[in-house]
Amino acid sequence: MERILIIDDDNDICLLLTKFLKKKGYEASFVNTGEEGLKELKRNQTDLVLCDYRLPDENGLDLLQKIKIVSPETAVVMITGYSDVRVAVQTLKHGAYEYVTKPLYPDEILVTIKDAITAQKEKAEQRSQPAAKKSSSGLSRKRFITGKSNQSEIVQKHIDLIAPTDMSVIITGETGTGKEFVANEIHNKSKRKEYPFVAIDCGALPKELAGSELFGHMKGAFTGALADKKGSFELADGGTLFLDEIGNLSYDNQIKLLRVLQERKIKRLGGVKDIPIDVRVITATNEDLKESVREGKFREDIYHRLNEFKIELSPLRERKPDIIVFAEHFLKLANDQLGKNISGFEKEVVKKFKEYYWHGNLRELQNVVKRSVLLCQKDEIHMECLPAEIISPDYIPASLKPKSESSQDVTNLKSVSENAERNAIISVLEKTGYNKTKAAEVLNIDRKTLYNKLKAYEINI
């Protein structure tokens, strides 16, 4: 019986979810704070944590990082208000499997829990399978969808061009743009397709465990190393290793990775012998690695080793023709998951989808479609099924909204000028998905200047 821990300070929600999950055959319990949650995880092996992003003692992102250290095999699903979707998306970068938005619907949560636990089991199976066995990851079984936009056509051409080679590839793009799907499609079209595709999220790896996860360890190499363990490079032997959020890899592990790329050998932690490996490395990032190189956070030599070919994925809001293509795909998936037969989207819904900003890109679109299918009682998705934030978009959080004109002293030229500059910064931040490096480039200032202005104008992101 799978064990689920709920971390939420709302006892009514906790009692409702616990009762519901027990009826569905799970062992479920709850605590009200992050501190209590960590203690519980240390006491009992847990398959999944359902965690509210806003807790009395800390936020969900900080707690998530602690959970990954205390119990790295536990899947985590975040509960968030829709106004927090942008920050919820950040938790996906650090290892959360998924997020669900309030109001909570038990059937939606149940589907998400089942998917998260299944994905976690598949990862465990992948770690234990022989290296030469064909990849059986759930991702490999999912169909790659090509959009209709010019950007999507270019990406598809690049995949077809690079897949037959053994060149290293860097895939760039915001969180939720489908970087892992692109990496998997490259693998499936390569000569390595009969061998494993192993995906590792470097952003979700605690620094203490990253070396062991990547390169493996020998029994007794460190406290808790109770048996020999193969690392991801050995598991992917003959196939493809996908390293997501590569910019989060520690400097020490960057050096070890460089050695692997140069010599095609790995050495387990605590080991004495070199182990030859044959692995194609594909990496992904939503950061500007060139900037990280300039700042000394990422080694230039390894950047050039990894960047033999680059594929750039545009955010969903910049490829409008793709929105409905993917929405219809997610509709089919949701129908299958929820046992429904919704035929499509009303015209007004299509219009709202195309107008919305989609901070979470494809991931957010999939969540919205799945929830809409759950709520829909008609043949087509209608407006009443959509979250209020899509019906009446408010893209900028309260802390980013322009100060009211009534508070301006219009006789003070400096005040008017500063307010215009503040609004310009906010506008660029919104358009760049709150990527400070890109925003600084658009504004033609360096990042230090941007940080100073964010502080001066009290722009909190």
Q: pLDDT tens-digit profile of 287-328?
A: 889 989 999 989 999 999 999 999 999 999 999 999 999 999
Domain assignment of residue 331, yes or no: yes
Residue 56 sits in the same domain as residue 178: no
Residue 87 sits in the same domain as residue 189: no
Domain boundary among 89, 109, 125: 125
Domain assignment of residue 138, yes or no: yes
CATH number at residue 19: 3.40.50.2300
pLDDT for the residue 203: 77
Domain assignment of residue 407, yes or no: yes
How far is Cα 88 from Cα 78, in angstroms, rounded to an integer? 7
Domain assignment of residue 43, yes or no: yes
How far is Cα 198 from Cα 4, in angstroms, rounded to an integer? 26
Residue 308 sits in the same domain as residue 331: no
Domain assignment of residue 151, yes or no: yes
Residues 402, 419 contacting (CB under 8 angstroms): yes
Residue 263 sits in the same domain as residue 143: yes
CATH number at residue 359: 1.10.8.60
Residue 174 sits in the same domain as residue 276: yes
Ramachandran angles phi, psi of 198, nearest 5°: -115, 125
Residue 300 sits in the same domain as residue 407: no
Domain assignment of residue 296, yes or no: yes
pLDDT for the residue 398: 45
If one counts the domains in the chain, the total is: 4
Domain boundary among 66, 90, 125: 125
Amino acid at 106: P
Residue 302 sits in the same domain as residue 323: no
CATH number at residue 292: 3.40.50.300
Residue 147 sits in the same domain as residue 183: yes
- CA torsion through residues 299, 302, 306, 309, sign: positive
Residue 43 sits in the same domain as residue 66: yes
Domain assignment of residue 167, yes or no: yes
Residue 287 sits in the same domain as residue 253: yes
Packed helices 361-375 and 85-93: angle between N→C axes, nearest 10 degrees: 120
Residue 307 sits in the same domain as residue 324: no
How far is CA 460 from each of CA 308, 400, 425, 455, rounded to the nearest angstrom? 37, 7, 12, 8
User: What DSSP string runs through 96-140?
Assistant: --EEEESSP-HHHHHHHHHHHHHHHHHHHHHHHS-TTSPP--GGG
Residue of 174, 224, 117 lying closest to 357 (CA atoms)? 174
Residue 154 sits in the same domain as residue 273: yes
pTM higher than 0.75? no
Determine the distance from the C-alpha atom of residue 350 to the mean position of all C-alpha atoms in its chain, rounded to a whole number: 25
Domain boundary among 80, 98, 125: 125
pLDDT for the residue 418: 74
The parent domain of residue 83 ranges over: 3-125
Question: Which stretches in the chain have pLDDT values below 70?
Answer: 82-86, 125-143, 393-417, 433, 460-461
CATH number at residue 402: 1.10.10
Domain assignment of residue 461, yes or no: no
